[in-house]
Amino acid sequence: MHQTPALKHILEAALLAAGDALSLEHMQALFPDTDRPEKARLRGALLDLQQDYAGRGLEVVEVASGWRIQVAAEMAPWLSRLWEEKPIRYSRALLETLAVIAYRQPVTRGEIEEVRGVSISTTIMRTLQDRGWVRVVGHRDVPGRPAMFGTTRSFLDHFNLKSLDQLPSLGELRDLNELHPELDLGFPDPAGGAGPAPSARDSTDG
């Protein structure tokens, strides 16, 4: 008689096959209605799986969109040799703009420029929106009704955050690189299912 695999093994297989974060609702949908586990049971199995992966080259993490299996960041020096393309290097201007939006949202372009003391290039705003990290969340009720920008769930996922509450305080953020330590790892995003081989990212001069 075929034996049903352990719940955490089913979830492990699903996370590896999905190649992206899965919400608890998506995990519940893997099971028939008559045998659908409660979210608390799913979370318990995921925490067990997280412990199983502790200290290995892969890790189980929870981000804004759900749970995923990804390459551990400390593997970067070795995995960087898998790709021939040069690693992404974002300009300080782009990182500063992203930081202002993340910490002061919703914020208009003019307000960002006021904080930074310089004008923002259209390329920077387009790059942040094209990457799905920033979006227009409304319009300020002043003459001209300028667009207000905020971060997205994709931003949280990319930076391994469950919510904006997990951002370091401005006092703790001594260096912009702390906002995104993977920027200098030399290989594509560690997220992306079982293997460290997501599609290569386009570089930007910002």
Apex 47 CA angle, 44 and 48, nearest 5: 90
Position 2 scores a pLDDT of: 65
Q: Which of 79, 104, 134 is the last residue of a domain?
A: 79
- Per-residue pLDDT tens over the stretch 114-127: 988 889 888 999 99
Total domains in the fold of the chain = 2
Q: Per the confidence metrics, is the pTM higher than 0.75?
A: no
Is the pLDDT at 175 greater than 70, yes or no?
A: no
Report the pLDDT averaged over residues 168-193. Answer: 47
Q: Give the domain CATH number at 173.
A: 1.10.10.10
What span, in angstroms and rounded, lies between the C-alpha atoms of 100 and 111? 9
- pLDDT tier at 77, thresholds 50, 70, 90: confident
Residue 157 has pLDDT above 70, yes or no: yes
What average pLDDT does the segment 143-169 reach? 90
104 and 173 within one domain: yes
| CA–centroid distance for 60 within its chain | 14
- On whether both 43 and 96 belong to a single domain, the answer is no
In this prediction, residues 177-205 reach a mean pLDDT of 36
Distance in angstroms (rounded) separating the CA atoms of residues 191 and 204: 20
Average pLDDT of the residues of the chain: 81
Whether 137 shows a pLDDT value over 50: the answer reads yes
Render 128-162 in DSSP notation, one character per residue: HHHTTSEEEEEE-SSTT--EEEEE-HHHHHHTT-S
Residue 87, in any domain of the structure: no
204 in any annotated domain: no
d(CA 81, CA 15): 25
Range of the domain at 144: 92-179
